[in-house]
Structure 1
Amino acid sequence: MKILAFDTSTEWCSVALDLDGTLSSRAVLAGQRHSEWLLPMVQELLAEAGLVLTQLDALAIGQGPGSFTGLRIACGAAQGLAFGANLPVVPVITLEAMAAQALADSEFDGAVVCVDARMNEVYAAVYAKAPAGLAAQVAPGLFAPSAAPLPVAAGRYLGCGSGFAAYAEPLATRYGDRLAELRPERYPHAEWIARLAADKWRAGQAVVAEAVEPLYIRDKVALKTCERA
C-alpha cells in the first residue's frame, strides 16, 4: 500500500509517504507559509521514492480541527492532487493522530488531547487504547479550558497538545491529578496521519476528491467588538 499524507492544521507543515509500512517524512515550522512549503515537500518525497502520484493508492490529510486557513490549504491541495491523479482521499482527525502518536508503545491507557483554539478555547477529545486501535471516549469538540473533557474510564492518562501550554492554569485545575504526564509540545504529524489512514483505507473510509471537507468544529474565527469587552 502506498499512501501520501500531509497536515497543515497548526503552525507546522508535515508530509509523509507510507510505502507498505516504511515511512519517510518531512516537517517544517511553516508559520503562515504552508502554501509555499507543502507541494515542494510532496514533490521531494515522491522524487526520492521514484514515484508519481498515479502510482499511489490514496492520499490522506489531517482534516482538523485546527487552523481555518491551514485546513483549507490541506483540503484544497488534497482535492487538486487527488482529482488529477484519480486517487481516493482518507480524512483523519488531527486529535486522533496526536493520541495515536502519544500512546504508541507507551504504558498509558489513554490520552486527553487539547489543542489551543484561541479565543480562550481548546479543541479537545479523549481517546483510550482498544483492541482495534483507539476508541474515542469523548469525540472532538470545542471547549472552554475549565470545561475540557474528562476521561470516562479508569486508567493512566496523559495530556498532550498546545492547549496544555496556552491554558496551563485552568487545565491544571480542571484535571488535577487525573493526568499522569503532560506533553504540550505535541502537534499533529503526517506520519501518524498516514499510519491511521492505512487502516481507514482498508476499512473503506476513503472518499472521492470532491467529498473532502475540513472538520472546523468552530463556526466563527473572530470576536465582535462587543464580545471583546
Structure 2
Amino acid sequence: MNVDFSRPILAIDTSTSYLSLAIFAKEQMWTFHEAVGTKQSTLILPTLDRLLADAGLARSDIASIVYAQGPGAFTGLRIGLGVAQGLALAQNLPMIGIPCLEAVASLLPEQACVLAATDARMGEVFYAWFNTQTHSRLSDDMVGKAADIAVLPEQAQAQGIGNAFDLYASAMPFTGRSDMPTVADYLRLAISGRYEACGAESVHLRYVRNKVALTAAEQAARHA
C-alpha cells in the first residue's frame, strides 16, 4: 500500500511502560510521552483524542498509522496494535510497523556496528546488532541474559544503546548509552520510506519468546 506522508499520520508506541503518541500534520508534530505503567489501555484513546483536538483534527482525518512492532512489553504491544488496527480497519488505512530494536539503534546513526539492547523483564534483555551507516541488520532479534551476549571480534568496537545498558550495566559486555526512542523516532523512521506499508489485516508483532511472565515458584526462588 502507498502512503501519502503529506496527510495526517498517527504514530503509536506502547512497547514499554510509556504511552507514546504523535500526530504529524501540516508540517507540525503533536506528541505525548509519559510513563503510565498499567494505565495504557485506559489512557490511549482519550489521549489520542486530545492530541487530535490540539491539532484541529478528527479521527477520520488520520491517513496512515505507524506502530511499534516489538519486541517489547507483551501486553503493551497488544494494546497499541489493537487500537492502531481498529482505527485502520474502520477507514482502510495503511499501517507501517517499525521494529523496536531498529528504533533504538537509530539513536546512534552512522555507526558500523551497534548493539541495541532493552529490558525484556524476568532478568533478560532483548537485543540485536545493526549497521546504522547502511541501515541494515547484522543479526536477528534475540532475548537472553545480559551476561550471555556474545561479542565477536568484529564487534569489539561496537557502540551500545538502550535501557539495558542502565538496568543491567554490570552484566552487559561493554558500556553504552541508556537512551530510548520516543514515538517521534518511530515516525521519523516511517517517513524515511525504508519500511513497507500494509493493510490492517496483514500487520503483526515481533515476538522473540513465548514466555511472558515468571511462575509463582520462579518468583519465590528469585526473591530467595
Do these two structures clear the TM 0.5 threshold for a shared fold by scoring above it?
Answer: yes
Stretch deviating more after TM superposition (57-66 or 207-216): 207-216
Distance 2:93 2:153 in 1: 38
- The offset of 1:161, in angstroms, is 1.7
Show the counterpart of 2:148.
Answer: 147
Alignment partner of 1:136 is 2:137:
yes
Distance of aligned partners of 1:155 and 1:167 in 2 relative to their CA distance in 1, 3 Å threshold: closer
In 2, are the aligned partners of 1:103 and 1:110 still within 8 Å (CA)?
A: no
Show the counterpart of 1:189.
Answer: 182
Distance 1:152 1:5 in 2: 38
Show the counterpart of 2:15.
Answer: 9
In 1, are the aligned partners of 2:98 and 2:189 still within 8 Å (CA)?
A: yes
Please point out which of 39, 48, 68 is paired with 2:74.
Answer: 68
- The offset of 1:108, in angstroms, is 4.7
- The offset of 1:153, in angstroms, is 4.6
C-alpha offsets along residues 57-98 of structure 1, whole Å, 9 cap, x if unaligned?
310111111111101101111111111122111111111112
TM-score normalised per structure 1: 0.82
Distance 2:45 2:31 in 1: 13
- Give the number of the structure with larger relative contact order, counting CA–CA contacts within 8 Å between residues 6 or more apart: 1
1:33-72 → structure 2 map (5 Å cutoff): 33-72=39-78
Distance 1:117 1:44 in 2: 31
Distance of aligned partners of 1:9 and 1:149 in 2 relative to their CA distance in 1, 3 Å threshold: farther
C-alpha offsets along residues 79-138 of structure 1, whole Å, 9 cap, x if unaligned?
1111112211111111111221x225xx7544311111122211001222235xx21112
Show the counterpart of 2:29.
Answer: 23
Distance 1:83 1:208 in 2: 8
In 1, are the aligned partners of 2:116 and 2:160 still within 8 Å (CA)?
A: yes
In 1, are the aligned partners of 2:10 and 2:22 still within 8 Å (CA)?
A: yes
TM-score normalised per structure 2: 0.83
Show the counterpart of 2:129.
Answer: 126
User: SS at 2:139's partner residue?
Assistant: strand
* Higher fraction of strand: 1
Stretch deviating more after TM superposition (121-130 or 47-56): 47-56
User: SS at 1:65's partner residue?
Assistant: coil
User: SS at 1:91's partner residue?
Assistant: strand
Stretch deviating more after TM superposition (52-61 or 68-77): 52-61
Please point out which of 89, 92, 108 is paired with 1:103.
Answer: 108
Show the counterpart of 2:205.
Answer: 214
Distance of aligned partners of 1:129 and 1:57 in 2 relative to their CA distance in 1, 3 Å threshold: same
Distance of aligned partners of 1:151 and 1:70 in 2 relative to their CA distance in 1, 3 Å threshold: farther
Distance 1:85 1:152 in 2: 50
Distance 1:153 1:170 in 2: 20
User: What do you get for the CA RMSD once the two structures are aligned?
Assistant: 2.5
